[in-house]
Structure 1
Amino acid sequence: MSTPFSFSLAATDGRARTGVIDTPRGQIRTPAFMPVGTAATVKAMLPESVAATGADILLGNTYHLMLRPTAERIDRLGGLHKFMNWDKPILTDSGGFQVMSLASLRKLTEEGVTFASHVDGSKHMLSPERSMEIQKLLGSDIVMCFDECPALPAEDSVVAASMRMSMRWAQRSRDAFGDRPGHALFGIQQGGVNQDLRGESAEALTKIGFDGYAVGGLAVGEGQEAMFGVLDYAPDMLPQDKPRYLMGVGKPDDIVGAVARGIDMMDCVLPSRSGRTGQVFTRHGVVNIKNARHADDPRPLDEDCSCPACRNYSRAYLHHVFRSQEMISGMLLTWHNLHYYQELMQGMRDAIAAQRFDDFVTVFHGLRAEGDIERL
């Protein structure tokens, strides 16, 4: 591997940052949005289409891939990049969040989590060591520590006990990850919405030492105001010279608010899931393509957008194929949403570099407040 993993900041504007993560598989421009390829595919998209939207990195799900087709099978077939035909960087989550949210009959101990698969009920064990082993078999470029993520709201005592166990698991993850040049391991800050617990977690992680740091345990039901409240202090507790990743976020205004507070990386299923359910993100806010108002509308979703859905198809057509449950509907709307998200990230990178991020945010909120174009 010629290029080691590294992160360099190019510019800051207030707390917003832009820079580059260098990996052997290519550069990741930050702030970065990572489309989610849960089961080794971004639903309704070809990998080359995802790349065409401007994505530098994808996220894969350890939990889903370990169950089906299994990490061992992917390894035998040449690793996740080859398996899914994606030659750019891949970040894999640790599986912890999905075990907590999807698996049934789970039992949590200091050792790890035993659970029954939501696919076929088979029994599995995930520990820090097993999570590191699976992610190594997958061959991901950025590996996440195994942690527990309690649902909020929760008592401080519950959050504290969970966070401290996650910190012990972070050390075990670090030990099991070992020395893997060209691959990175990220630690995950926990602590709910409690500033003292967040500080304790950040201190523990920094002491262990990671290639990047995630702010975990948010976007789990606490609401935007509480999330921004934590982001007002949490990123600054983490090392300045490493990437900061906010897990599972989010809506466009969540993303802009997170970048304003010093976050460098985000992921979310929202653009692809919304595309399949007829929700479209535009600079003027959310458009619901299933509404009858679009049935006779010859205009594009967004006349300023260069994605294939906007370049080549009318709202009337997109409305028709969605109502007819045609596959092309999910394909076009997902492509548009991912294109919009990547355009948003590029806009923020440019604005931070030009020291006009505040102006960008003002225009962003102003256009959204105007709402969708008038109906015909």
Structure 2
Amino acid sequence: MNKLQFKILKKKGNARVGQITLNGIKLTTPVFMPVGTKATIKGLILDMLKDPKYTGSKTPINLILANTFHLYLRPGDKLIRKAGGLHEFENRDGLILTDSGGFQVFSLGLSKKSVKSESQRSIKSKGPDDLMTGGPSTKHDVQIKLTEQGVHFNSPYDGSKHFFTPENVVDIQCNLGSDIMMVLDVCSPADANKKTIEEHMHMTHRRAKRAFDHFQKKYDKERGVLFPIVQGGAHKDLRSQSIKFLSEYARDGIAVGGVSVGEEKKLIQEIVKHTGSELPEDKPRYLMGVGTPEDILHAIENGFDMFDCVLPTRLGRHGIAFSSKGNLKMTNAKYKADFTPLVKTCTCFACTHFTKAYISHLIRENEMLGGILLSLHNIAYLHNMLENRKAKMLRK
């Protein structure tokens, strides 16, 4: 029996409501995973995600994401293992998904112009601010070399040299005590040519095989499960090839990566629709890096179950709130004397306790509470949007 149990409770068209059971925890899908890059969601106490007082929902947020790349560098996966894994380290009793670090390596500067040869090529990046994770800026240039064995890089924090392979990335995630792990993939930039994207896709496939072979030999009895990642850029034929190859490894679930890396929205939607129609029906389907309300709803209509993105908290820290009428920018003059909630129908702590005028004031004065309240609201907004959608589907 698989460690991760998944069953579909209801379908409407391609949209579905499902249930994941893993390590004694049950959660219904579709589900949005807040991103806790460095074992914390910026500005929030993790217990807030389980408390109806803060989320406005009776259903706790029981699945979050942590970043393998950053936690490996600081404080180190071996230290976290000594602490008892991420769950003990951050006092978290819900499920934790860890990414593989492949996207962070891409964000360090892997682009079409920099990959002259697939066997080796050095490129430069400016530091952790390029990782799309909100890390601190540094003076260390980052060198990346992609090879068949793995990827060489130096730390954006202190310049130290490191090497990721499909095998040691599994080791790192097992040290972290992750519930759901990702294989080390190769993410192509949106402007790469088809030949490069195809080379990256095949390399991703070879890495997936190596990762699963290593996982099954060494960690099959551990708490975690491993997902492969579909690649292929904006090319439907490559996406189909990738799904066909990786379905063999989708024992517990499957992810689709390389979707939100700079493509136009229409193209993203076409790829989401195409991949959603071909992924294994009986496994959870994880669309990586998608986090706007409209993009999530579109993906749900095309059969996806799991989502993550830094956008809700990043926008929150920059004074922007989700709403059914689009994003609300709290620095706009019209909110200075607006004494209504962010969203009248939202039951999160920010909306039930404070006004737009107050939050606008906090943002204008660079008070950290403003970003905290907006981050909480944005996460709760997505969570409650999905909870309401699931409830509506289950009633029909």
Question: Which among 213, 232, 241 is matched to residue 282 of structure 2?
Answer: 241
Contact 1:25 1:89 in 2 (8 A): no
Return the offset for 1:209.
4.1
Residues 146-184 of structure 1, C-alpha deviation per residue, up to 9 Å, x if partnerless?
Answer: 100011122111111100010000001101112135421
Matched, 1:88 2:94: yes
- Secondary structure, aligned partner of 1:121: coil
Question: Which among 203, 215, 229 is matched to residue 177 of structure 1?
Answer: 215
TM-score of the pair, normalised by structure 2 = 0.87
Contact 2:227 2:250 in 1 (8 A): no
Question: Which residue number in structure 1 is paired with residue 122 of structure 2?
Answer: none
For structure 1, list consecutive stretches of 5 or more residues without a partner in the other structure.
356-376
For structure 2, list consecutive stretches of 5 or more residues without a partner in the other structure.
109-124, 126-141
Q: Hey, what's the Cα distance between the residues in 2 that align with 1:351 and 1:146? A: 37
Contact 1:5 1:182 in 2 (8 A): no
Q: Hey, what's the Cα distance between the residues in 2 that align with 1:209 and 1:287? A: 39
Structure 1 residues 314 and 208: CA distance shift in structure 2, 3 A: closer
Return the offset for 1:3.
9.6
- Secondary structure, aligned partner of 1:176: helix
Instruction: Give the alignment of 1:226-237 within 5 angstroms.
Output: 226-237=267-278
Quick check: 138-147 or 199-208, which moved more? 199-208
Identity %, equivalent residues: 43
Matched, 1:66 2:72: yes
Return the offset for 1:116.
0.8
Amino acid at match of 1:323: R
**Aligned-residue CA RMSD (Å):** 1.5
Amino acid at match of 2:207: W
Return the offset for 1:292.
1.7
Question: Which residue number in structure 1 is paired with residue 17 of structure 2?
Answer: 18
Q: Hey, what's the Cα distance between the residues in 2 that align with 1:198 and 1:119? A: 35
Structure 1 residues 226 and 40: CA distance shift in structure 2, 3 A: same
TM-score of the pair, normalised by structure 1 = 0.91
Contact 2:350 2:376 in 1 (8 A): yes
Instruction: Work out the number of aligned pairs and report it.
Output: 354
Question: Which residue number in structure 2 is paired with residue 268 of structure 1?
Answer: 309
Instruction: Give the alignment of 1:169-318 within 5 angstroms.
Output: 169-178=207-216, 179-180=220-221, 182-318=223-359
Q: Hey, what's the Cα distance between the residues in 1 that align with 2:182 and 2:38? A: 17
Q: Hey, what's the Cα distance between the residues in 1 that align with 2:2 and 2:210? A: 27
Instruction: Give the alignment of 1:39-118 within 5 angstroms.
Output: 39-52=38-51, 53=55, 54-102=60-108, 104-118=142-156
Structure 1 residues 259 and 65: CA distance shift in structure 2, 3 A: same
Q: Hey, what's the Cα distance between the residues in 2 that align with 1:351 and 1:177? A: 39
Residues 70-96 of structure 1, C-alpha deviation per residue, up to 9 Å, x if partnerless?
Answer: 101111111101111211000000011
Matched, 1:163 2:204: no
Contact 1:31 1:259 in 2 (8 A): yes
Question: Which residue number in structure 2 is paired with residue 370 of structure 1?
Answer: none
Q: Hey, what's the Cα distance between the residues in 2 that align with 1:112 and 1:42? A: 29
Question: Which residue number in structure 1 is paired with residue 35 of structure 2?
Answer: 36
Contact 1:235 1:261 in 2 (8 A): yes
Question: Which residue number in structure 2 is paired with residue 365 of structure 1?
Answer: none
Structure 1 residues 304 and 209: CA distance shift in structure 2, 3 A: closer
Q: Hey, what's the Cα distance between the residues in 2 that align with 1:183 and 1:222? A: 32
